[in-house]
Amino acid sequence: MRPMARKVLTQQVAPERVGTAVRKHKVEGYALFWGAPLAVWQLVFFVAPLVFLVVMTFWTVSNFRLAPDFDTVNWVNMFSKGYVIDTYFRTLGYGALAAVMCSVLAFPASYALAFKASPVAQRIGLFMLITPFFTSYLVRIYSWQAVVAENGVLNGLFDLVGLGPFTILGTLLGTMIGYITLTLPLVILLQFFSLSGVDRNLVEAAQNLGCGRLRTVFLVIVPLAKTGIILAGTFAFILCFGDLVSPTSLGSSKPPTLSILIVDTVKQGNNWPRAAVVALVMVLTLIVVAFTAIFFAYRVKKEKI
């Protein structure tokens, strides 16, 4: 039965498919009714605010009052400050570190789910991963605070075996624990979807040709699943790059990340234009990262012969 179902799904791309293009001369009301809502809503409440962000970077603040303007002072200001540049690269580094760490930590788990679990176990595993997904990240970080604090649960356990106490709060490790809390389920899921799509025949063929276990994983499986792995890492990066809660609650706000910088800029004197500059730079960075990732995720390497 299943091969049949798959055949039907792929029929969708055939030219015979329903869905002739909307006629050129007039657009029927039906099409407009279904097509317009998304366009309207997103243009007004998503695109316009983003455009406004760009505009805002050129406004000025004098005497705590916001004035429409076209002045590059904010840009000059932010880029000239050493600590802003430092913060930028620090946040970039943190994000990259988190993405890599999370990807590495997630891989054995996603591998296990894709290759070492029965279909029933897989569904249960997915269920367990997806359910906490949308539960309050804030509260989970708060819980971690209690766990890794000086007199928290973790140190209590270490104490029982005569170790510690270890300082985790206020360190980079703390921030990383927070970042991993934020991204681990998503990364495992995305890696899983790619891994489970790997053709088992190829894996068997590799082993048949003498490839050992570990080599098969790195030379065959990972390249075949690279789309999901790269996308997982990219999402992890995006999430951590912009996160505020982990560095403030579990890490240290000095030295700050870009998110902390934005919040501080807004709190002190409501300097939205400057905050806008930082925000815009972040968005542009993420666009570049996303496009690069997609490029690498989907490209087919040309062999040099």
Partner 1 sequence: MSEALLVLDKVVKRFGEHTAVNGVDLQISQGEFLAIMGPSGCGKTTTLRMIAGLEEPSEGEIRLNGKRINELKPWQRDTPLVWQNLALFPHLSVLKNVEFGLKMRNVAARERRERAMNWLERMDLHAYAGRNITQLSGGERQRVAIARALVTEPEILLLDEPLSALDAHLRIRMQSEITQLQKQLGITFAYVTHNQSEAFAMASRVAIMSDGLIQQIGSPREVYRAPANHFVAEFVGSNNILTGTVVALDGDRATVDTAHGKFNVPVPDPAPIKGDTLELVVSADLIAISDSAGEYENVIAGELISEEFIGSVITLYLDIGDGTVFRVQKQQHELDALDYASGRKLFASWQGKDTYVLPR
Partner 2 sequence: MSTDRLIAYALRGWFFIALIFIFVPIIINFIFSFSPERFPTLPLGGFSTGWYELILSEAPVPRAFGNSMKAGVIVALISTFIGFAAAYTDYRYRFLGKNFYLALALLPPTIPVLILGLVMLMFLSRVSLVGELYSVVLAHVVYCIPFAMALIRLRLAQMDPNLESAAWNLGANSWRAMREVILPFTLPSIFAALALTMAVSFDEYMIAFFVGGVTETLPVRVLALLQGQVSPRINAIGSVVFTISMSLVILSQILLLSRRSGERNVAAGGK
For 161, phi then psi, to 5°, come to -100, 15
Sort strands 60-62 and 65-67 into parallel, antiparallel or unpaired.
antiparallel
Which tokens hold the place of 171? 């360190």
Cβ-based nearer residue to partner 2, 254 or 304? 254
- For residue 204, CA distances in Å to 143, 213, 226 come to 44, 11, 19
Q: How many other C-beta atoms are found inside a 10 Å radius of the C-beta of residue 181?
A: 19
Which of 41, 295, 296, 298 touches partner 2 by CB under 8 A?
41
Interface of this chain with partner 2, residues 56 to 85, rule: CB under 8 A = 56
Candidate list 2, 6, 13, 15; residue touching partner 1; CB under 8 A: 15
Which residue's CB is nearer to partner 2, number 114 or number 301? Answer: 114
Does residue number 261 form part of the binding site for partner 2 (CB under 8 A)? no
Q: Does 62 bind partner 1 (CB under 8 A)?
A: no
Nearer to partner 1 (CB atom), residue 30 or residue 70: 30
Q: Which stretch binds partner 2 (CB under 8 A): 164-172, 180-188, 222-230, 297-305?
A: 180-188
In angstroms, give the least distance from the CB of 29 to partner 2: 9
Q: Which amino acid is at 225?
A: A
Distance CA 287, CA 297 (A): 15
Among partner 1, partner 2, none, residue 26 binds (CB under 5-8 Å by kind): none
Minimal distance in Å, beta carbon 10 to partner 1? 12
**For partner 1, which is the closer residue by CB, 8 or 300?**
8
Alpha helices (H) along 116-136: 119-130
Q: How far is CA 2 from CA 53, 115, 121, 213, in A?
A: 50, 20, 20, 30
CA dist., res. 283 & res. 262, Å (int): 13
Name the segment binding partner 1 (CB under 8 A); options: 4-12, 243-251, 253-261, 297-305. Answer: 4-12
Q: Which of 130, 298, 117, 116 is nearest to 225 (CA)?
A: 298
Q: Do 59 and 66 form a contact (C-beta atoms < 8 A)?
A: yes
Cis peptide upstream of residue 49 (ω within 30 degrees of 0)? no
Is residue 13 near partner 1 by the rule CB under 8 A?
A: no
Which amino acid belongs to residue 168?
A: I
| Contacts to partner 2 from residues 113-132, by CB under 8 A | 113, 115-117, 123, 125, 127-132
Taking CB under 8 A as the rule, does residue 4 contact partner 1?
A: yes
* CB nearer partner 1, residue 23 or residue 213: 23
Return residues touching partner 1 (CB under 8 A): 4, 8, 11, 15-16, 18, 20
